[in-house]
Amino acid sequence: MRTSEFTDFRRELDFKRGVYTRQFIWHMQNRKSIQLTFERLISMQVSNLGCQRIVLKPLNFAGTAQVITGLDFATIHEDQDTRYWEGVKQGSQHGITAMLGRTANTGNRLFSSYRLDLPMGAKSGTLSEENFIGDEIVLNLKKGEETVVDKLVINYADKDQEQSDDEVWSKGMKLAKQYAEVDYKAAAEQQEQYWAKVWEHSDIVIEGDPENQQGIRFCIFQLYQTYHGDNPGFNIGAKGLTGEAYRGLAFWDTESYCLPFYIFNNPKAARSLLEFRYKTLPQALERAKELDCAGAFYPIATIDGTESCDLWQHSNLQLHVGTAVAYGIRHYVNITGDKAFLYEKGLEMLIQISRFYATRGQWGQKTGKYGYFGVMGPDEFQLMVNNNCYINLMAKKMFDYTLETIAEMEQAQLSAFVALADRLELTVQEQMEWKNKADNMKIPYDEETGIYEEHDGFFDMPHLDIHSIPVTEFPLYSHWSYDRLYRYDMIKQPDVLMFMFLYSGEFSREAKRANYDYYETRCIHESSLSPSIHSILAAEIDRPAEAYKFFEFATRLDLDNYNRNTREGLHTTSIAAAWMNIVYGFGECARMEISWSLIRRFQSAGANIPSQSLIRELSSRSR
């Protein structure tokens, strides 16, 4: 029995045009063959607009074809095997077909609509089911000729629970009518113009290495596509909008890994990311109370400001989100000079974060030093430890920056500070306590070796040769019990090396080399965020071969499906780390005036590197 076959399959993402194309030839049971081409674009200038073009070309016949298209709110969440959308209202008017849906848990609503541009002679009729509305189209096809169907979609999201469904519908329909005259050609032309400006401003050229050239452009493309900053107060999920893994939740990765890209390439988007933390400050204040603390405790995983992680060891013990937010504010203001944000919103967050860290820490009995007990650092393989070096050092920096900002506003005699201090009941005594805790913060450090101890007692933990672990046991989270993970001096991802990256200018090359040599041999890189940080530090300490090895992993992680999980969604924050890898790694080497003999050694190691002119250009953007 003859069956259908598909040949000449091609899938293409055009970075210059911002258009995704899928094409194949369908050989049907009746021996008829038709070439189908699907084009899609998500407008970068109108964030509500998405377009689809379907091209049908019969190769050996003429006749009719039936096409069904519509809006489907009956999608099943693959991981949870549950439908999280509920259809509220549907209908058609003025050539616009629309549906209003509501999320099951949060009650957020989405108005989705579309308009069809059909060829002459085409016929269409409405199809309506529960959670679905669409059109059944009948097309007249001519042999060897292309027949085109364009679909233009307008989406409008609303999180205001006070508005009625009818009000949301009315706003969505008004927006759909506003763009009713836009056609696919015009949208595609605007899209191409937008991306031309992007590449003029943000392109990175790597000579002699087409694989990583493609890789870094893919990373830049995805970061622009993921987040525009058009909606202040939205954040970036770990998978962006490309997959269901992590349930759309945002982590500390946003400020530590994603924010730098937007600071340099789209400051509006960078500010919008920080606006999310200000918008969700009330939730962070409530969360701190649950831990018997004052101030603001930002969640390790969130979509709306509340804690969404259901593992207590992560949600209660990982304190480093607040310091990441503080670092993000500092970094953003230092690069953009946006003092208005710092004074109007940033300082309020800094004060409340400082209050949390001032009430979560304690004084050690023997050392008399201040620190944090019963915590989990970025490593995540060390549970309920005391004085995690990363947390302690970042908290010290956070206290210092908060006090510097307060002093700056006081010296300028800004009325905004007086009003804020009064509203928050900020006292001189409280500030003195912060300074005392910062000045007496315990930073675990071995003066003889120059190595920072990840936490109290880390140097005395049983050692495990990570290369002795069979490859079949990776990822370890899937094959080892939790308590087994926590027994050794093995680490999941950068911890000490992470703060050396964030405050790179404060550590000598010798200090970085000593700590890199110690911790890299213990790191299994179970996180996709790990390779780029190691690459950056390897470049700084004259390890070109190692730097390139880690860099290569970062740029093509999803293109080559290294972790065999790209189907769950792109590693958005790792993509951002790949960009930092070049700018803060190879670019930083140039800024530090590393001799070009290092570059020659890099090439002799069999690696291709960015051109010298590019490295000089990138160095001007470095920290």
- Contacts by 251-254, CB closer than 8 A, 24 or more apart: 251/300, 251/301, 251/321, 251/573, 252/300, 252/318, 252/320, 252/321, 252/324, 252/378, 253/529, 253/573, 253/576, 254/324, 254/328, 254/573
Tell whether 462 is covered by a domain. no
Tell whether 137 is covered by a domain. yes
What burial class does residue 261 get, using C-beta atoms within 10 Å of its C-beta: 0-12 exposed, 13-18 middle, 19+ buried?
buried
Interval 248-289: pLDDT, tens: 888 888 999 999 999 999 999 999 999 999 999 999 999 999
Interval 219-242: pLDDT, tens: 999 999 999 888 777 888 888 888
Query: ∠546-623-227 over CA atoms, to 5°?
Result: 90
Tell whether 429 is covered by a domain. no
Interval 13-40: pLDDT, tens: 999 999 999 999 999 999 999 999 999 9
Task: Please answer whether residues 589 and 557 qualify as being in contact, where contact means their C-beta atoms are separated by less than 8 angstroms.
Answer: no
Tell whether 232 is covered by a domain. no
Interval 446-494: pLDDT, tens: 999 999 999 999 999 999 999 999 989 988 988 999 889 999 999 999 9
Range of the structural domain that residue 69 is part of? 5-168
- Choice among 307, 380, 526, 588 that is catalytic: 380
**Dihedral sign from CA coordinates of 497, 499, 505, 508:** negative
User: Total structural domains in the chain?
Assistant: 1
The CATH number for 91's domain is 2.70.98.40
Q: Name which of 321-330, 353-362, 365-374, 572-581 the model is least confident about.
A: 572-581
pLDDT, mean of residues 594-604: 43
Instruction: Give the C-alpha separation, 585 to 307, whole Å.
Output: 33
- Residue 499: band (very low, low, confident or very high) from pLDDT cuts 50, 70, 90: very high
Task: Please answer whether residues 45 and 53 qualify as being in contact, where contact means their C-beta atoms are separated by less than 8 angstroms.
Answer: no
In sequence order, what DSSP letters do the residues of 284-303 get, joined into one string?
A: HHHHHHHTT-SS----SSBS
Instruction: Give the C-alpha separation, 74 to 86, whole Å.
Output: 8
CA atoms within 13 A on the CB side of 545: 4
Tell whether 122 is covered by a domain. yes
Tell whether 598 is covered by a domain. no
Tell whether 310 is covered by a domain. no
Interval 104-136: pLDDT, tens: 888 999 999 999 999 999 999 999 999 999 999
The residue among 217, 302, 321, 226 whose CA lies nearest residue 269 is: 226
pLDDT, mean of residues 134-159: 96
Indicate if 380 belongs to the active site: yes
Q: Give, as one character, the DSSP assignment of residue 491.
A: B
Tell whether 183 is covered by a domain. no
Distances (CA, A) of 288 to 45, 391, 413: 39, 17, 31
Interval 387-438: pLDDT, tens: 999 999 999 999 999 999 999 999 999 999 999 999 999 999 999 999 999 9
